[in-house]
Structure 1
Amino acid sequence: MLYRFGDQMTSRIERIAITHHQLDLNPAFPASWDTQPRKKFPATVVRIFDQDGNMGIGSGDVMYGFSDYEYLFIGQNPLDLERHNAVLGNIGFHAGRPWPLDIALWDLAGKIRGEACWKMMGGRNQRVRTYASSGVHRGPEDSVQMALHAIERGFPALKLRFGRPSLADDFLVLSAVREAVGDKLELMVDCNQGWRMPWDISRPWNVEKAVEIARKLEKFNVHWMEEPLHRGDYEGYKTLRQQVGIRIAGGELTREEYEFDTLLRNECLDIYQPDVACTLGMEGQRRLAAKVEERGHIFTPHTWGNGVGLAANLHIAAGATSGAGFVEFPYDPPEWSTARRDFLLTETIEPDAHGWVNLSDAPGLGVELNEDVLIATQSKESTWV
Structure 2
Amino acid sequence: MEGGGAMKITEIELYHVHIPLKHTFWPTWIPGYPQTHNRFTLIRLATDDGLEGWSAGTAMGEERQGLGDLLGGYIIGADPTDIDRIQSLLKQAGYLGWLNHWIEPACWDIMGKAQGKPVYELLGGEARAIEAYCSFGELHEPARRVEEILALMARGFKTFKLRAKAKTFAEDVRLIEEVRKGVGDGPTLGVDANQGWLVSIVDRIPAWDLKRAGDYARACADNGIEWLEEPLDWHDYDGLAALKKASPVKISGAELNHGWDEIKVMLEKDCFHVYQPDATFAGGIAQVRQVIDACHRLNREYSPHTWTNGIGFYINWNLVLADRGNTHPLEYPLEEPSWVPEFRDGLIAPILPDKNAMLWPFTRPGLGFEIDRKMLKKYARRFYRQTTTGLAFKVIREKGLKAALEIKKRKEG
Determine if the TM-score, normalized by the shorter chain, exceeds 0.5. Answer: yes
Q: How many residue pairs end up in the alignment? A: 375
Could you list the structure 1 runs, at least 4 aligned residues long, displaced by more than 6 angstroms after superposition: none
**Which residue identity is paired with 2:323?**
A
Is the counterpart of residue 269 in structure 1 residue 272 in structure 2? yes
Could you tell me how far 1:124 is from its partner in structure 2?
A: 4.6
Q: Give the direction of change, closer, same or farther, for the CA distance of 1:129–1:317 in structure 2 (3 Å limit).
A: same
Residue type of the partner of 1:156? K
Say whether the 8 Å CA contact 2:3–2:83 is kept in structure 1: no
The answer to whether the 8 A contact 2:260-2:288 is kept is no
Q: Deviations over 1:206-237 (max 9, x none)?
A: 11111111111101111100011111111111
* Equivalent AA in structure 1 for residue 10 of structure 2: E
Q: 2:19 aligns with which of 23, 29, 32?
A: 23
- Structure 2 residue aligned with 1:145, among 141, 144, 147? 147
How far apart in 1 are the matches of 2:82 and 2:213?
Answer: 43
- Structure 1 pair 126/67, CA: closer, same or farther in 2 (3 Å)? farther
Does 79-88 or 133-142 show the bigger shift?
79-88
Q: Distance in 1 between matches of 2:17 and 2:28?
A: 23
Stretch deviating more after TM superposition (205-214 or 87-96): 87-96
| Contact 2:58–2:309 (Cα < 8 Å) also in 1 | no
Task: Name the SS for the 1:108 alignment partner.
Answer: helix
> How far apart are residue 184 of structure 1 and its match?
2.1
Structure 2 CA distance for partners of 1:173 and 1:202, relative to 1, 3 Å: closer
Secondary structure at 2:89's aligned position in 1? helix
Give percent identity, aligned residues only: 28
Deviations 1:303-343 (A, max 9, x none): 11110000000101111353051221101111111111011
In the TM superposition, what is the alpha-carbon distance from 1:172 to its structure 2 partner?
2.6
Displacement, 1:43? 2.0
| Aligned residue in 2 for 1:376 | 378
Does the C-alpha gap of structure 1 residues 38 and 318 become closer, same or farther in structure 2, counting only changes over 3 Å? same
Counterpart-to-counterpart distance in 2, 1:202 and 1:147: 26
Alignment of 1:210-249 (within 5 A): 210-249=213-252
Q: Deviations over 1:93-150 (max 9, x none)?
A: 4332212321111111111110101111221553332211001111122101211122
Contact 1:224 1:247 in 2 (8 A): yes
C-alpha displacement of 1:80 = 1.2
Q: Which amino acid aligns with 1:139?
A: E
CA deviation profile, 1:153-194 (whole Å, cap 9, x unmatched):
222210000013433333333223212322321100011111
> Is residue 57 of structure 2 the alignment partner of residue 60 of structure 1?
yes
Structure 1 distance, partners of 2:3, 2:247, is: 50
- For the 8 Å contact 2:127–2:361, the answer to whether it is kept is no
Q: 1:337 to 1:286 in 2, by over 3 A?
A: same
Larger mean CA deviation between 350-359 and 263-272 belongs to 350-359
The 2-side partners of 1:180 and 1:122 are apart by 42
Where does residue 336 of structure 1 map in the other structure? 339
1:353 paired residue among 352, 355, 369 = 355
How many angstroms apart in 1 are the aligned matches of 2:324 and 2:58?
A: 25
Residue ranges of structure 1 left out of the alignment (5+ in a row):
none
Question: Are the structure 2 counterparts of residues 203 and 178 from structure 1 closer, same or farther at C-alpha, using a change threshold of 3 Å?
Answer: closer
Residues 73-112 of structure 1 mapped to structure 2, 5 A cutoff: 73-112=75-114
Q: Distance in 2 between matches of 1:359 and 1:21?
A: 27
Matches of 1:334 and 1:342, distance apart in 2: 14
Pick aligned residue for 2:130 from 128, 131, 143: 128
Partner-residue secondary structure (3-state), 2:336: coil
Rate the CA distance shift 1:173–1:83 in 2: closer, same or farther, 3 A.
Answer: same
Q: Distance in 2 between matches of 1:324 and 1:103?
A: 24
Q: 1:328 to 1:5 in 2, by over 3 A?
A: closer
2:322 match: secondary structure:
helix
Quick one: structure 1 residues 198 and 380, their matched pair in 2 at CA, closer, same or farther if it must change by over 3 Å? farther
- The residue identity in structure 2 corresponding to 1:33 is W
The verdict on how the C-alpha distance between 1:324 and 1:197 changes in structure 2, with shifts beyond 3 A counting, is farther
C-alpha separation between the residues in 1 aligned to 2:377 and 2:149? 36
Per-residue CA deviations over 1:251-284 (Å, capped at 9, x if unaligned) read: 1111142221111111110010111111200111
- What is the match of residue 318 of structure 1? 321
- Distance in 2 between the 1:163 and 1:79 partners? 42
**Alignment partners' CA distance in 2, 1:330 and 1:318:** 18
Larger Rg: 2
In the alignment, structure 1 residue 287 sits paired with structure 2 residue 290: yes
Farther off after superposition, 76-85 or 134-143? 76-85
Q: Give the structure 1 partner of residue 166 of structure 2.
A: 164
Matches within 5 A, 1:251-266: 251-266=254-269
CA distance in 2, matches of 1:308, 1:154: 24
Counterpart residue type for residue 106 of structure 1: W
Q: C-alpha displacement at 1:38, in angstroms?
A: 1.1
Compare 245-254 and 255-264 and name the one that shifted more: 255-264
Contact map agreement 1:61 1:98 (CA 8 A) in 2: no
* Amino acid corresponding to residue 308 of structure 1 in structure 2: I
TM-score by length of 2: 0.85
Superposition deviation, residue 25 in structure 1: 1.9
1:300–1:324: 8 Å Cα contact kept in structure 2? no
Match of 1:113 among 112, 115, 131: 115
1:37 counterpart residue number: 34
